[in-house]
Amino acid sequence: MKRFGLVLIAAILGSALTVGTFQLIEQKQSKTFKIEHISGAPVIGAAYTVNNSGELVPLDFTGVAEKVRPAVVHIKSTQMQSAQSSTDPFGELFDDELFRHFFGPNYRYQSPQPKNQQPQAQVGTGSGVIINPDGYIVTNNHVIDHADDIEITLEDNRVFKAKVIGADPSTDLALLQIKATDLPFIPLVNSDEVKVGEWVLAVGNPFNLTSTVTAGIVSAKGRNINILQDRSAIESFIQTDAAINPGNSGGALVDLQGGLVGINTAIASPTGAYTGYGFAVPANIVSKVVGDLKKYGMVQRGYLGIMIHNVDGNLAKEKNLDVTEGVYVDSISAQSAAGDAGVKAGDVILAVDNTHVKTSSELLEIIGRHYPGDKVNLTIDRKGKEAHYEVTLRNRDGKEKMYEQNTKDILNVLGVELEEIDSATAKKLDIACGLRITNLQNGKLKRHTEIRAGFIITKVDGKVVTTVDDFIKNLENKEGGVLLEGVYEDYPGKYYYAFGL
């Protein structure tokens, strides 16, 4: 009986504990499934930064993203091409250059096409940044190069046709304008003051995904990645790890105050998509190029007239230099501004106007912001001794003056260098006179016609031209269509090329 009482008491206690345990589980389960809603939750920064007042504040990108997105546009660039080449039976073996050698400069292989087949449209897309409320947009030259039609879509879905004000292949920048006013825009900052490690946002339209924002930091400055195929290329990119992809070209790289740090231009990628780093043209270069394109229709740029490359430990050892940083002067060109000022091959440029330069890209960026006729002071190391030289910069032709609007610069707008043919050549070709294109660069003629170097211009809009001055005068203040007539020395017949100014 006593044992039975103990068993009964144990059973009662066990039951009580079991009930208590289930009650606790039910309470916990009811708490687990309880759902609470919080409205107006503040954004919690993952990191902190210091504002202009020196206060520690949460790092938040929402404000700057909202501010800059309306000023970044989508660009659709359309180039019309003849319906050909896709079924060209010779395409795998030969190119047009070989056939032109035999059949003349205007030869184009045309594969058989239906009679009514229309030209094919090649469409590319990119981004642009509104930098002025009156519709001025800066983008990359490669986004709109050779385009027959440029369409701009704003963030509010309004669509405009764009006019090309000017382009600069040397920096891969172009200036466009649309017919609109009171637009949101992004002001430019002094990119010299941007620091490595500073937060930045990349804004653009990668893969046609409009108004995309990514965040990162400035990873490096003054990068040269050798992507611009122009003889006067200036590459001094800002490197960032903010994600940049195809379609971001021409978009904005901004700081946390919403200022334009640079124009996104390229990525370092073995796949064609983002793999870690992107590159942007610094805002100070953008400012110089855009200002010149707006004022002159071309970029007025000063030149030192030297061949250069970076100094490193290997070069210092090879050349027996006393420094391991700076820009080595490999050779002096003809009509060199630096050479005439006293700079010699073998010198190392250490600074420009007391601004230290470690690489050739930094030197090109600083000099490229100046105009022909500007004076700069170079600090030179020559065999261990420091010297200073004042250099008056020159234009590409070796002269200490800028090209005049609507005169000499028309040749640069067209992208040509001309020379008058001699009487023997004129007699041989049975023409009275003419101007031979000795050099064809990236300009209106190369972009919009099939003209080739060596073409001899005999008439402009039906008027005979005998000198380069005649040619320039015929195109002074010219607007609208222009027709060039002339001949090639090695091909029979006359040829005509039309373009617009």
Which of 74, 168, 170, 172 is flagged as catalytic?
172
User: What DSSP letter does each residue of 80-107 carry, written as one string?
Assistant: EE-S-STT-TTTTT--HHHHHHHH-TT-
Task: In whole angstroms, give the CA distance from residue 492 to residue 495.
Answer: 9
**Whether 142 is catalytic:** yes
Task: In whole angstroms, give the CA distance from residue 139 to residue 134.
Answer: 16
Task: In whole angstroms, give the CA distance from residue 227 to residue 349.
Answer: 24
Q: Are 205 and 225 in contact (CB under 8 A)?
A: no
Name 328's Cβ contacts closer than 8 Å, sequence gap at least 6: 308, 309, 310, 311, 315, 319, 321, 346, 347, 348
Beta strands (DSSP E) in 275-422 are 277-282, 306-310, 327-332, 348-352, 355-356, 375-382, 385-392, 416-420
Task: In whole angstroms, give the CA distance from residue 205 to residue 212.
Answer: 6
Tokens of 116: 């009514």
Q: Find the radius of gyration of the CA atoms of the chain.
A: 32
**Whether 249 is catalytic:** yes
* Backbone phi, psi, residue 32, to 5°: -60, -40
Which of 77, 236, 249, 336 is flagged as catalytic?
249
**Whether 172 is catalytic:** yes
Which of 74, 127, 142, 336 is flagged as catalytic?
142
3-class state of residue 350 by DSSP:
strand
Active centre residues (catalytic): 142, 172, 249
